[in-house]
Chains A and B, each alone.
Chain A
Amino acid sequence: AQSVTQPDIHITVSEGASLELRCNYSYGATPYLFWYVQSPGQGLQLLLKYFSGDTLVQGIKGFEAEFKRSQSSFNLRKPSVHWSDAAEYFCAVRAPMEYGNKLVFGAGTILRVKS
Chain B
Amino acid sequence: SAVISQKPSRDICQRGTSLTIQCQVDSQVTMMFWYRQQPGQSLTLIATANQGSEATYESGFVIDKFPISRPNLTFSTLTVSNMSPEDSSIYLCSVTRDREGEQFFGPGTRLTVL
- In the bound assembly, the distance between CA atoms of A88 and B58 in angstroms comes to 25
A103 and B48 within 8 A (CB): no
What mask results when residues 39 to 57 of chain A are scored 1 for a CB within 8 Å of chain B, else 0? 0001111100101000000
Given contacts A102-B48, A107-B41, contact A43 B96 (CB under 8 A): no
- A100 contacts the other chain (CB 8 A): yes
Chain B: number of interface residues, binned into ranges: 20 to 34
B103 and A43 within 8 A (CB): no
For the A-B complex, the count of residue pairs with Cβ-Cβ distances under 8 Å equals 48
Which chain B positions have C-beta within 8 A of A107? 41-42
- Interface of A: prevailing SS: loop
- B67 contacts the other chain (CB 8 A): no
- A31 contacts the other chain (CB 8 A): no
Which chain B positions have C-beta within 8 A of A67? none
Question: Nearest Cβ distance between residue B93 and chain A, in whole angstroms?
Answer: 9
A49 and B102 within 8 A (CB): yes
- A34 contacts the other chain (CB 8 A): yes
- A90 contacts the other chain (CB 8 A): yes
- In the bound assembly, the distance between CA atoms of A46 and B45 in angstroms comes to 17
A51 and B48 within 8 A (CB): no
Which chain B positions have C-beta within 8 A of A45? 105
Which chain A positions have C-beta within 8 A of B25? none
Given contacts A90-B43, A107-B41, A107-B42, contact A101 B105 (CB under 8 A): no
- B56 contacts the other chain (CB 8 A): yes
List the 9 closest A-B pairs by CB distance, nearest first: A44-B105, A43-B105, A43-B107, A105-B42, A105-B43, A107-B42, A108-B42, A101-B99, A46-B102
